[in-house]
Amino acid sequence: MILKLFLRTARLNRAFDRIDKDVITPYKEAVKLNEALLKIHQTSTLLRGTSFFLAFLQQLHDSEKALQLADDNREVVRLAKTYKQISNFISPKEKVSNDAADDMLSLKLVRDYKPLFQVKTTEFMADLSLKISNDMGHHSSFNANNKALQNNLLALYVLDSLELVSAIDKGAMAKSIQIALAQLTRSLQSPRTLASAFTEVKQTSANFCATLSSLFSSCEISRVDDGMPEKTLLDVLLLSLSETKGASVEEMYWSKLAFKFKKSVAATMARGGPVARNLRSQYTSMIESADSTLDGHPAHLIKDALSLVGRQN
SS3 string of the chain? CHHHHHHHHHHHHHHHHHHHHHHHHHHHHHHHHHHHHHHHHHHHHHHHHHHHHHHHHHHHHHHHHHHHHCCCCCHHHHHHHHHHHHHHHHCCCCCCHHHHHHHHHCCHHHHHHHHHHHHHHHHHHHHHHHHHHHHHCCCCCCCCCCHHHHHHHHHHHHHCHHHHHHHHHHHHHHHHHHHHHHHHHHHCCCHHHHHHHHHHHHHHHHHHHHHHHHHHHCCEHHHCCCCCCCCEHHHHHHHHHCCCCCCCHHHHHHHHHHHHHHHHHHHHHHHCHHHHHHHHHCHHHHHHHHHHHCCHHHHHHHHHHHHHHHCCC
**Between 150 and 89, whose confidence is greater?**
150
Q: What's the pLDDT band for 10 if we cut at 50, 70, 90? A: low
Q: Does the pLDDT value for residue 183 go beyond 80?
A: yes
Amino acid 97 reads: S
Rounded Cα gap, residues 56 and 290, in angstroms: 58
Give me the pLDDT at residue 187, please. 93
**Stretch 281-301: mean pLDDT, rounded?**
93
Q: Does the pLDDT value for residue 98 go beyond 50?
A: no
Give me the pLDDT at residue 165, please. 93
Q: Which residues pair with 232 in a beta bridge?
A: 220
Q: How many CB atoms lie within 10 A of CB 306?
A: 23
Amino acid 37 reads: L
Q: What's the pLDDT band for 257 if we cut at 50, 70, 90? A: very high
Tell me if 153 sits within 8 A of 139, measured CB to CB: no
Residues in the chain: 313
Give me the pLDDT at residue 102, please. 54
Tell me if 167 sits within 8 A of 231, measured CB to CB: no
Q: Does the pLDDT value for residue 44 go beyond 60?
A: yes
Give me the pLDDT at residue 148, please. 94
All residues at 6 or more sequence positions from 216 whose CB lies less than 8 Å from its CB, including other chains:
153, 232, 233, 234, 236, 237
**Stretch 85-101: mean pLDDT, rounded?**
67
**Stretch 288-299: mean pLDDT, rounded?**
93
Report the share of the chain in percent with pLDDT over 90.
51
Give me the pLDDT at residue 19, please. 72
Which pTM value belongs to this model?
Answer: 0.79
Tell me if 80 sits within 8 A of 158, measured CB to CB: yes
Give me the pLDDT at residue 30, please. 73
- pLDDT tens per residue, range 218-248: 999 988 877 776 689 999 898 888 765 558 9
Tell me if 294 sits within 8 A of 198, measured CB to CB: yes
All residues at 6 or more sequence positions from 235 whose CB lies less than 8 Å from its CB, including other chains:
221
- pLDDT tens per residue, range 138-153: 888 999 999 999 999 9
Give me the pLDDT at residue 13, please. 66
Rounded Cα gap, residues 54 and 57, in angstroms: 5
**Between 137 and 177, whose confidence is greater?**
177
Q: Which residues pair with 220 in a beta bridge?
A: 232
What residue ranges do the domains of the chain occupy? Answer: 20-158, 160-224+232-313
Amino acid 169 reads: D
**Stretch 284-313: mean pLDDT, rounded?**
90
All residues at 6 or more sequence positions from 222 whose CB lies less than 8 Å from its CB, including other chains:
228, 229, 230, 231
Report the share of the chain in percent with pLDDT over 70.
83
- pLDDT tens per residue, range 190-215: 988 999 999 999 999 999 999 999 99
Give me the pLDDT at residue 79, please. 94
Give me the pLDDT at residue 5, please. 61
Rounded Cα gap, residues 65 and 58, in angstroms: 11
What is the Cα 3 distance to its own chain's centre?
87
Q: What's the pLDDT band for 256 if we cut at 50, 70, 90? A: very high
- pLDDT tens per residue, range 106-134: 667 777 888 899 999 999 999 999 999 99
